[in-house]
């Protein structure tokens, strides 16, 4: 048990290391919904690597994270600003945004409209498809 706990702690340590650089990258706004002035958390994009990787983390608000972790609690209106995130130059942000937009596009035309003009790099596309 202790070993698992140590591992967990080491992971949390690495993630908090990333926090500062992520905050700079994100200009201290949620990288998905652009909320500012709120608490931001480091979120690891699936599939989560064995060792935390900076390029696979995004900085998002707790609202976004709750909805990512609980698909049943997704509130469509919260994601209206995905139109920007799907074009992010950060693959990790793009991947999460596209996954969410695709999920919403089954029910909402505006989400489909976000996706229509989008062109993904093959690597990003592959990441999107392999959570």
Kindly indicate which of the ranges 24-32, 48-56, 86-94, 97-105 contains the residues binding Zn ion, using the contact rule CB under 5 A: 24-32
Distances 61 to 2, 39, 83, 108, 109 between C-alpha atoms, Å = 31, 6, 17, 23, 25
Pattern 63-92, Zn ion, x by CB under 5 A: -x----------------------------
DSSP state of 44: E
DSSP state of 76: G
Interface residue with Zn ion, options 18, 22, 26, 32 (CB under 5 A):
32
Find out whether the peptide bond into 47 is cis, omega within 30 degrees of 0. yes
Q: Does 61 bind Zn ion (CB under 5 A)?
A: yes
How far apart (Å, rounded) are the C-alpha atoms in residues 69 and 76? 15
Judged by beta carbon, residue 33 or residue 93, the one nearer Zn ion is 33
Interface residue with Zn ion, options 18, 22, 26, 30 (CB under 5 A):
30
Q: Does 128 bind Zn ion (CB under 5 A)?
A: no
Cβ–Cβ < 8 Å for 41, 52: no
Interface residue with Zn ion, options 22, 26, 33, 85 (CB under 5 A):
33
How far apart (Å, rounded) are the C-alpha atoms in residues 75 and 117? 23
Kindly indicate which of the ranges 7-15, 43-51, 58-66, 90-98 contains the residues binding Zn ion, using the contact rule CB under 5 A: 58-66
- Helix, strand or coil for residue 45? coil
Question: Site residues (CB under 5 A) for Zn ion?
Answer: 30, 32-33, 35, 60-61, 64
């Amino acid at each position: 048990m202790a070993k698992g706990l140590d591992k967990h702690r080491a992971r949390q340590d690495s993630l908090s290391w990333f926090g500062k650089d992520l905050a700079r990258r994100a200009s201290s706004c949620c990288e998905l919904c652009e909320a500012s002035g709120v608490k931001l958390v480091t979120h690891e994009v699936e599939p989560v690597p064995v060792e935390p990787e900076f390029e696979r983390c995004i900085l998002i608000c707790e609202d976004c994270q709750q909805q990512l972790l609980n698909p049943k609690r997704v509130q469509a209106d919260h994601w209206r600003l995905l139109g920007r995130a799907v074009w992010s130059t950060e693959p990790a942000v793009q991947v999460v945004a596209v996954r969410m937009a695709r999920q919403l596009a089954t029910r909402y035309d505006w989400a489909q409209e976000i996706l229509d003009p989008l062109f993904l790099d093959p690597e990003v596309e592959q990441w999107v498809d392999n959570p």
